[in-house]
Chain A
Amino acid sequence: MRDTSRPLAFGPAARAVFDLSLDGMVFSRRSLLMALLVAAPVAFAVLYRVLSITHGTLPLGPSDLYALMIAIYWVRNVLPLAALFYATSLIADEVEGRTLTYLLTRPLTRASIFAGKFAAYLATTFTLALPAAVVTFFVLMTAPSAPALGPAAGDLLRDLGVMLLALVAYGALFGLLGVFLKRPVIPGLLFLYGWELLANLPGYLPRLTLTAWLRSLIRHRPAEEGISGLFQQVLPSDQSLAVLLVVSLALLGAAAWIFSRREYVLEQ
């Protein structure tokens, strides 16, 4: 018999919150929109194959197109956006829907609630992004003009890992913004399309961004125009991995700590 005077253990509590949150996240209008955005490269890849049959050799090779999708479309733009829209709303949605009370009055620690919700966010975004990347890779890299599949497959595994890491790192950051700020989306967008541009500057400034560390982990470097093409730095891979993991853990810890201590006043 469980001691009802004490909250549920962290693991089972987080799992219960995960189960509860997953349905709401996977089958939502937000997921439908994100699925369209995240899976768009699959459509581009199919279109590319059709065009390569009807028009012969295209100016952009299949591996170049795949590199663009990974480096520019997913890692730089869409995955951070997906993280922004999901992770900022982990707690904000409960506050807005005035349902947070129901969670907080259960015998669960607040850290386990945050952990369960973050795990549900990761499961949802992985479900949307990873199959799209795998399908895009095989559609493009099996084109007749594509290089050998074997060596490129190593990049696929690396790319999937970097996509996971991007969702974890940006999710941790925006999760923190979500528990800390009342309206976190605008600061999040400013971070993505303002602060993250520091990654294109020379010197040490790129080290203050997440995108510089993430793009250093992928091999694809599509040619870029302007200042980003001029100064783009590739940081050491081992450092990049360590920095991203440490930053993600620190941000998640901070988010869980703030959520555990913050008092939420629901508007009547």
Chain B
Amino acid sequence: MTRSRLVLIAAMTVVGVGVIAGVGALWMNPARASVGPLAGEALILPKDSRFVMGFDVKRFTSSPFYERFASRDGLKPEALSQLEEKTGLNPYRDIDEIVIAGSPGGRKGAPGLAVAFGRFDLYKLGRSLETDGKATGTSHEGLTVYAFGDGDRDLKRGGLAVAFLDQSALVFGAKDQVLAAVSSRVRNETPLKDNTALMALVEKVRPGSTFWMVGDQSLLSSLPTSVPAPGASADGAATMTLPALTGLTVTGDLDPQVSLAITGEARDALAAKNLADVVRGLVAMASLQAQQKPELQQLASAISIATEENRVLVSARIPYEMLEALQPKKARAAEATSPKPHISR
């Protein structure tokens, strides 16, 4: 055997061992392979979801956006606030990423079902939840589900619950949905993957974004179908009909500036063109206000609109200086005086 063949065989052995180990890990791990930016573990979310959104908490907290606007109310997703309130977890310290699926106008108080990834001390958290009387733990398919409020008796009634899938993942939301997700996990099922329309949208999302969201046709049916035409009177007599969207994808990053990419899918190329024209009109109207507010002119030039086949692509890159300039003066003054919250890590 020649030396070069020996090198070739050695290299292929390394690759072969690596591939076997990888396939083994994939096979042994109950988690499924990811779909776009959606981690495999999150595929236990319900099949009938109308939107899915992801939030990279780590990227968010290390972004200049967090540094500047951390003290603002409403900065935290509702699911994170509830999780913090109910479990005592510090989302910014303990959670790396959160994925939420649900339907708009779903159950009151439950914004959807969330799967959070991070590092959880199961013993400490379980003990704290039960001893503080915040929640009642019950075993479901071998995992402990902590039900808040009325406890185990009302487990089927739809209060909130949390279940720790392992040391790195938890599921949080309405009790019945949490139970269903736990069952899916134990049975190695992936209900969300069966929602082919939503999965097709998720696959197209650029992984690595700080936040992303996809919504299907049913989510978008609740959007207004018309907007007042420019120069229309207050009675709303003159309106423009908006072409219907069949899918919506939003991705965004916060470093080094706020960048947003919104992709709306229309029925056909003509509808996409019409929709793009409506958006361009709105941006143009904003720039017309520039005399009163010069920042609006900058904002309008930071947004670009394009169409590609049946898709409308809206991109925005907004520097933080512009964001601050767009805020009301009062808010800016309050921002300058309020102390930044301390985050223990």
Question: Which residues of A are at the interface with B, using a C-beta cutoff of 8 A?
Answer: 19, 22-23, 25-27, 59, 61, 64, 67, 123, 126-128, 130-131, 134-135, 137-138, 147-151, 153-157, 160, 202-203, 219-223, 225, 229-232, 234
Q: From B13, which residue of chain A is reached at the shortest CB distance?
A: A131
Best-surrounded residue of B4, B25, B29, B32 (most CB of chain A within 10 A): B4
B residues touching A (Cβ–Cβ < 8 Å)? 2-5, 7-8, 11-12, 14-15, 17-19, 21-23, 25-34, 36, 39-41, 58, 62, 96, 117, 168, 204, 206-209, 253, 255-256, 259, 261, 304, 306, 308, 313, 315, 317
Shortest Cβ distance from residue A6 to the other chain B in the assembled complex, whole angstroms: 28
Q: With a CB–CB cut-off of 8 A, which chain A residues contact B5?
A: 22
Chain A residues closer than 8 Å to B27, beta-carbon distance = 150
- Pair A203/B4 contact, Cβ less than 8 Å: no
B11 & A130 in contact (Cβ 8 Å cutoff): yes
With A61-B58, A150-B31 known, 6 other A-B pairs at CB within 8 A are A27-B3, A151-B34, A153-B22, A157-B23, A202-B306, A225-B256
Q: Is the CB of B14 within 8 A of A134?
A: yes
B18 contacts A138, C-beta separation under 8 Å: yes
Cβ-closest 4 pairs across A and B: A150-B29, A134-B18, A154-B33, A153-B22
Complex partner residue of A23 from B3, B17, B18, B23, CB under 8 angstroms: B3
Of chain B, the residue at the smallest CB distance from A237 is B203
Flag if A130 contacts B168 (CB, 8 Å).
Answer: no
Q: Which of B23, B29, B308 has the most CB of A within 10 A?
A: B29
A149-B33 Cα distance, complex, nearest whole Å: 10
Q: Are A134 and B19 in contact (CB under 8 A)?
A: yes
Residue pair B208, A222 in contact (C-beta under 8 Å): yes
Q: Are A156 and B208 in contact (CB under 8 A)?
A: no
- Describe B's contact surface by its main secondary structure: mixed
Contact partner, B31, options A27, A127, A135, A151, Cβ 8 Å: A151
Asked, given contacts A149-B29, A151-B33, A203-B306, whether A134 binds B15 with beta carbons under 8 Å apart, the answer is yes
| Cβ–Cβ contact B40 & A220, under 8 A | no
Question: With a CB–CB cut-off of 8 A, which chain A residues contact B304?
Answer: 230
How distant is the Cα of A36 from the Cα of B83 in the complex, in angstroms? 48
Chain A contact residues, majority secondary structure: helix
- B317 adjacent to A150 (CB under 8 Å): no
- Do A203 and B8 touch (CB < 8 A)? no
Contacting residue for B29 out of A27, A130, A151, A231, CB 8 A: A151
Residues of A within 8 A of B23 (CB): 153, 157
- B21: A residues at CB distance < 8 A: 138, 153
Residues of B within 8 A of A148 (CB): 29, 31, 41, 168
For B26, the chain A residues whose CB sits under 8 A away are 150-151, 153-154
Chain B contacts for A131, CB-based, 8 A: 11, 14-15, 18
Task: Please give, as numbers and ranges, the residues of chain A lying within 8 Å of B15 by CB-CB distance.
Answer: 126, 130-131, 134, 160
Report the Cα distance A48→B232, complex, angstroms. Answer: 61
Q: Which among A22, A25, A26, A135 is the interface contact of B14 at CB below 8 angstroms? A: A135
- Determine the chain B residues whose CB is within 8 A of the CB of A25 once the complex forms: 4
* Sampled A-B contacts (9; CB under 8 Å): A25-B4, A61-B58, A128-B11, A148-B41, A220-B207, A229-B259, A230-B304, A232-B206, A234-B206
Shortest CB-to-CB span from A95 to chain B, Å, is 23
**Chain B neighbourhood of A160, CB < 8 A:** 15, 19
Minimum C-beta distance from B210 to chain A (A): 8
| Cα–Cα, bound, A126→B117 (Å) | 35
The docked-state distance in angstroms from the alpha carbon of A67 to that of B304 is 28
Contact across chains for A223 and B34 when beta carbons are under 8 A apart: no
- Establish whether residues A156 and B31, one from each chain, have CB atoms under 8 Å apart when the complex forms: no
Interface centre among A134, A150, A230 (most CB of B within 10 A): A150
Inside 8 A of A225's CB, which chain B residues have their CB? 256
Interface centre among B18, B29, B31, by most chain A C-beta atoms within 10 angstroms, is B18
Interchain nearest-CB distance for B318 vs A (Å):
12
B contact residues around A150 at 8 Å (CB): 25-31, 40
Partner of A67, one of B3, B29, B30, B208: B208
- Which residues does chain A contribute within 8 Å of B30, judged by CB atoms? 150
**Contact status B4-A156, CB under 8 Å:** no
Q: How far is the CA of A137 from the CA of B18 in the complex (A)?
A: 9
Is B39 a contact of A151 with CB atoms below 8 Å?
yes
Which residues does chain A contribute within 8 Å of B253, judged by CB atoms?
Answer: 223, 229
Contact between chains at A151 and B259 (CB < 8 Å): no
Shortest beta-carbon distance from B11 to chain A in Å = 4
Q: How far is the CA of A123 from the CA of B206 in the complex (A)?
A: 32
B271 → chain A, closest Cβ, in Å?
A: 19
Question: Which residues of B have CB within 8 Å of A232?
Answer: 206
Chain A residues in 8 Å Cβ range of B8: 22, 26, 123, 127
Which residues of A sit under 8 angstroms from B206, Cβ to Cβ? 221, 232, 234
* Contact residue among A67, A149, A221, A229 (Cβ-Cβ distance under 8 Å from B25): A149
